[in-house]
Every structure is written in structure tokens, then in C-alpha cells.
Chain A
């Protein structure tokens, strides 16, 4: 199906060009800055998407991991460290928190996993409040600077675009690798994989580490974007919204997080300008997505495309039809 392949490549290329060209299309600084917000959220949502989609582990704690990394950068900037050292502290803090998550959650799955991530998230939030000598407590830390090369919003935006593309590509590569296949096997049936000789906890831990490391990077990007971090970044609500983004876009799809992030960020920031009951709107959109577009907008679009291309009813189960490329599961639809 080279025509489909070409279409995919062209589509992606167009997307990349659009993303890169955004600041040049007559948009204001505010809009560029909003676009950066969307992309950073999309990066963070991709980490949740990777862990939940391929790993079957739904986490409500990624907001806290990103916040921990943000605090690492913030504290480091208060000490007057160089930007390079700030990056080290940010990634270091995020990774340490990720390890804590990983160790605590390795033995759990499903709803229990969700609860552990929720609890650790609340602990991070509590620490952000209580350790005020380090975190400045509720007031948060302001004045965090990003590298001088990216000072202008359009320059930073381009850096964020490149980061987003790199992260998306990297996660895609991991997902298509044998590791990714093993992870999906574990998602589908842990006992089967164990009987095949896979050491399951190691897979899950590594998956969490990958996801958490990228989430830490997202936290760094976020604090460079707003020059600011406060405990509210670690709130459960932020992590719930990440999940909403993933589902709206399509769990397990490559571009789903971007679509989901766009919708949520736009509702929060733009729709709220004119509609007072925007949280209700967001909730309704979410409910409708679960009911009618279970594989999200991207997943649903892919199914429609697949159906149109083949001109017959898609026999594969909906959840598995949502991935862009053929995976190991399900019959192959190509002629």
C-alpha cells in the first residue's frame, strides 16, 4: 500500500512544515506562546500515551514528575547556577522521582497502579508546599531564565517544535522496537509473557523510566516557557487533564496527544475567554469522545480512512485498529 504510505509521509511533512512556519504566518506573540503551551502539553501527554497505550499502565502522576523537574530547575536557578547545571538538576530531580514511582508501582497494575501514581503525585504536591526553604512553598519560584539563544518567543517556539518532533520520533521508535512489542505483550497478558520467559517487572520499570525521563524534559520546557513554577503544577487536576488529552486524541496513536493537547489547551485558554462554563464543555467533549470516538479523534480518523480505502467493513477490533502502522496483532488489511 505505497499510496497510503506516501499519503502518511506527505501528511506528516505538511504538519511539520506548518508547525515550523507558524510564527511566520502573521501570528502574534501571544498566539506563538499559546502554540508553545500546546506543544509542551503534547509532549507530556505523549509520555502518558506511551505508558498507557503500549504499557497498559494508566498514570495520574506524570504532572507531578514534570513539576519535580521544574522545581529542580527552579531551585537551581535560585542558587545562581548556570543554565547547563540547571538542566542537570531538572532532569536529575525528575528522574529520581520517576525511579520512586517505578519502584513503588512495579508490583501493581490496573486501578492499583493508578492509585499509586495518584498518591505519589499528592506526596510531590505536599513536598512542594512543605519544603518551602527549597521550593518557596505556595508562592512558587519566579524569574527562572531559559538559555539566551531562545529568549524570543518565536525562537523558543521553534526549539519546542524540534523537541516535540524529536520526542514523538523517539517514542515512536521505542514503540516499534522489540522492547515495545514486548511491552504490548505484557499489556495484553502478563502471565503469557512470563511463561515465555520475559522478566515482566524489568520491562515495566524501563517503560516507566523512559516515560518519566521524557516527562522530566517536558517539565523543564514548561518552566522555561513560563519562567515560573508553583505547587499547582503538581496537582492531580493537571495529570487528569493529561489523560483527557490522550483519550481525546486517541490512546496509542502517534499524533493523538498533539490533537488532544490542542483541544484541551484551547478550551482552557481560548474558549474560557467567551464561555464561562468551559469546564462543563470540556467534560462534555470528553464524555462524547469516550462514547462515540473511543479511539479518539486521531484513531477515529484513521479508522475512517482505512474504511474508505478498503471500501468494506473493518473486521478488526476498534482498539487495535487505532494504530497507524500494522502491529503484531490483528489481521493485515493491505491488499
Chain B
């Protein structure tokens, strides 16, 4: 149970699963940070992105194109939801969250109707074949690719947040909505934009993730649960927190399933419970 190859494999398993969780959670936490909405339809956006990505990948064999198309598709869906529905309940926490529940029901059922109930995975033609071989250790390149994508996305988000004007506006909006709109920024469009970006990230996660987890009816709930756990641990609104939370959960999950399988089911809730009891706003969240 402690041989180096096994440990290395499980560590990589944990990191790659964590990378996927980060892609998922980053969109969710961004939207919450700015708009104080927990978008419970986020899982459904992931699912939609997965299905669209797989279809494009199957027809073109090109993963990058699949990711792009799925991000656009999910982004447009989110735009429609934002402009058509969420705008009407802007500022009221409960109705916003509840609205996203309704959207989740509809998107999930329509996905079943349109894409069917078969589980779907990324076709081999679009995936990255082969594995890394280091001594006795074999590890699929695709999962390493997922880690790379997550790192790139994370760094990009952090840079945008801290180095660009858009990022500054967003950070200001998080701190104080009224001042930023008094300064002439159309806060409404900032909100819409952020919601779309968050959803697009979910779509990207869905496409990339389809090479690791099959997309199937019901995945929206599983995925949402993991994402919520990650952002609770990391702190709502914090990209850094989402990254830390995701890696933590991924690694704990992988090793717990190997070492304490009795508690395999509960391993993701234990850290969350601890954080909630000792530091309810999360590891990197803002207090109050």
C-alpha cells in the first residue's frame, strides 16, 4: 500500500481529479464572489458543455475546437438565462438561487431529450493517446493534460483579476457595488459578463472532463455537489481557495479510497464539515 509507484499513481489521480474539480469550481466561485449567487444550474452547464463538446469532437476529431464550441454554446445559454430570467430578480438572493434550480431541472431534462440517456465519453480520436512511462509508473497523458489545462486556466484567471482593467472592475464590484456604478461602470453588464464567463468555464470543464468521466443523466448533481464542497472549503469568491480546495479534495478522495475504503463515501464531507465548524467562510474566503 505504500510502494512508490502506487503512491505516485494515487497522487497523480488525486491531482488530476482535483484539476477537474478546479475547472468546475472556478466558474461557480467567481459568480458567487461578484453576484452573491450560487448558480445551482452550474452542474447542468457542465453537462451541456460535455455533450456539445463530445459531439463536436466526434465529428471533427479536434479537442480544441470542441472546447471552444462548447464554451460558446454554454456561454450563450447562460446569457439567455441571465438576460431573460436572472435580471428580473437581480439583488434578491433567495429568488436568484431558486431560479437557478428551475433552470437546472429544465436544462437537465432537455439534455436527456436531445442527447439521449446513453453515457458518452470523449472519443479516442480527439483524446490524447498514450501514457507517460517512468520506470514502473504508467500514467495516461490525458489526465496530465487535464492538470495542465487547470493550471493554465487558474493562472489566466488570477492574472486577469489582478493585472487587467476588467479584473480591477470585478474586484471593485466585489468590494462595493454602489461605488463602482457611481463611477460610471455599467455594473449590470459586468454581472452578465461574469455569469457568462462562469458558465463557459463549466462548459470547458465538461468537455475536458468527458475524457475522464462519462457524461450521463444525473452527472449534473454529482458534479455540482463536488463543486460546492470545493468552494465551501476554499472560500466563496476566491480563485486561490478554489484551487486549494480542489487539490485537497482530489487528493484526499484518491488516498482515502485506497487506505480507508470504509469511509470512502464520506471523505469529501469531512474536510467540509471541519471548515464549516472552525472557519465558516472557508480557507481563503472573506469574513462577513
Contact = CB atoms under 8 A, between A and B. Distances in A.
A294 interface: yes
A126 B280 contact: no
Q: Main SS of chain B's interface residues?
A: helix
Interface string A107-120: 11011101110110
Contact of A237 (B32, B221, B236): B221
Contacts of A301: none
A294 to B, nearest CB: 6
Contacts of B277: 104, 107
Interface stretch (B7-15, B48-56, B105-113, B172-180): B105-113
Contacts of B102: 283-284, 286-287, 290
Contacts of B232: 112, 115
A58 interface: yes
Interface string A278-299: 0110111011001100100000
B266 A294 contact: no
Contacts of A114: 38, 97
Contact of B88 (A236, A282, A291): A291
Contacts of B269: 119, 122-123
Given A115-B232, A290-B102, A236 B94 contact: no
A112 B109 CA distance: 28
Contacts of A108: 276, 280
A285 B192 CA distance: 24
Interface in B103-139: 103-106, 108-110, 113
Given A277-B113, A283-B109, A104 B225 contact: no
A244 to B, nearest CB: 7
B266 to A, nearest CB: 6
A212 to B, nearest CB: 18
Given A107-B280, A115-B232, A247 B98 contact: yes
A286 B108 CA distance: 15
B272 interface: yes
A37 to B, nearest CB: 20
B276 A116 contact: yes
B89 A290 contact: yes
Contact of A130 (B38, B265, B276, B281): B265
B229 interface: yes
Contact of B85 (A116, A236, A251, A291): A291
Q: Which of A115, A116, A244, A251 neighbours the largest number of chain B CB atoms within 10 Å of its CB? A: A115
A217 interface: no
12 contacts: A112-B232, A112-B280, A116-B276, A130-B265, A251-B94, A277-B109, A279-B105, A280-B109, A282-B105, A283-B109, A286-B102, A287-B99
Interface of A: 58, 104, 107-108, 110-112, 114-116, 118-119, 122-123, 126, 129-130, 236-237, 240, 243-244, 247, 251, 277, 279-280, 282-284, 286-287, 290-291, 294
Interface of B: 32, 38, 85, 88-89, 93-95, 97-99, 101-106, 108-110, 113, 221, 225, 228-229, 232, 236, 265-266, 269, 272-273, 276-277, 280-281
